[in-house]
Amino acid sequence: MQTKDYIIEKLPLTLRNNVKDDRTLIGLPYPYTVPCAEGMFDEIYYWDTYFTNKALFALGQVEQAENNVKDILYLIDRFGFMPNGNRTYYTMQSQPPYAALMVNDVFNASGSLSFLKEAFVKLKKEYGFWMTRRLAPNGLNFYGCERSDQDCVNMYNGCVAQRIGKEVGRDAKEAGRHYFAECESGWDFSPRFDGRCIDYNPVDLNSNLYLYEKLFAKYETLLGEGDGSEWEARAQSRAKAVNRFMWDSVEGVYKDYNYVTRNVSNVVSAASFQPYFVGLANAEQKGGLVKLLNLLECDWGIFATQPADKKYQWAFPNIWAPCQYVAVEGLRCGGFEKDAERIAKKYVALLDKNFAKYGKLFEKYNGITGDTDAASEYDTPEMLGWTAGVYLNFLKGLK
């Protein structure tokens, strides 16, 4: 059996249909896709779904991709933002905003203006969450925490202590707030934010919100609700701020920006491809793609970050599916087509190699060994989800 055949056979096993709330599970109106056929991650997850849907589109399963997006829009309408996932214990935090990108994928596939009109209302509600509850003084956005003090203490003394260890003398309540914010980033945990996630304007978050504003300008015009000029002005203002604060002119790459200390991060990560992915970077920043390839490319794809001084799972030497996708599309948007194809081929080869050995796909891989011995904060689970989605998207593009 080939990797693609395995995905086609197993993907239906990741479908769930739970319309009613049941204990911690939040019911959803449409069937939805979860990352794993069994075991861990038996819920719909926010940013995972954007990449998982790539598998569904590649296989022509547009209706199910649309179902996933409608469920996310339902959750946005119900909670005022998209929770981490459809569990009650996830309703205090979000994840990287991809709903507008998912809506755009469905609209491009279906052309349904009625779908777009309904979705646009809910997307603006989600945008309002980021602009009212996650807005820094410099006009850019951050990942945050709305948990109780005790939750934050428990988080630091429990999850953080077990997964990456505690810092000597650090206040548990204060630390827990930052690590909950890091969970909202989707990169839990990573050296990107130096344990102080709330203090940072993440480059990927602000890039995606730029794309929201660009898409909203387009949607407003398409739907006859305005000329899109206000949204376009917001997008240009954000692009100016991202280029002002997040472009490291010394190293020649985009980085996360600490708006408290007013310094860019010391860490170069795969998130630095995001401004290229959304079309925010201008011609002067194109050279940053060459720098990123020099810093992060390996035999099997793109490392999550440069080498770190301690073990994190969202860091060197790990390879994650969403990082590969954003890097490849960012390279394409920047005109680096041959480099994009090379990275895509590496990731396809990585999955084929490991599938031949284990007969499974996994959440993440080791970019040095090209195997499943990834630096991990928990056992590396078998996974379809975004791993399968990015694989099939690349495979289709390479043909």
The catalytic residue positions are 188, 363
Contacts 24+ apart (CB under 8 A), 163-168: 163/189, 163/377, 163/378, 164/189, 164/310, 164/311, 164/312, 164/377, 165/310, 167/195
Q: Tell me how far apart the 2 most distant CA atoms of the chain are, in Å.
A: 57
User: Mutual orientation of helices 62-79 and 113-133 as an angle, nearest 10°?
Assistant: 40
Q: How far apart are the first and last CA of the chain?
A: 19
On whether the CB atoms of residues 179 and 187 are closer than 8 A, the answer is no
CA–CA separation, 29 vs 44, rounded Å? 13
CA–CA separation, 169 vs 123, rounded Å? 42
Closest CA to 164 of 141, 142, 192: 192
What Cα–Cα distance (Å) separates residue 369 from each residue in 102, 344, 349, 350? 33, 18, 13, 10
Q: How far is CA 2 from the centre of its chain?
A: 27
**Quick one: tokens of 103?**
């809506």
| Beta pairing, strands 200-201 & 253-254 | unpaired
On whether the CB atoms of residues 242 and 140 are closer than 8 A, the answer is yes
DSSP β-bridge partners for residue 69: none
Neighbours of 238 (CB within 10 A): 22
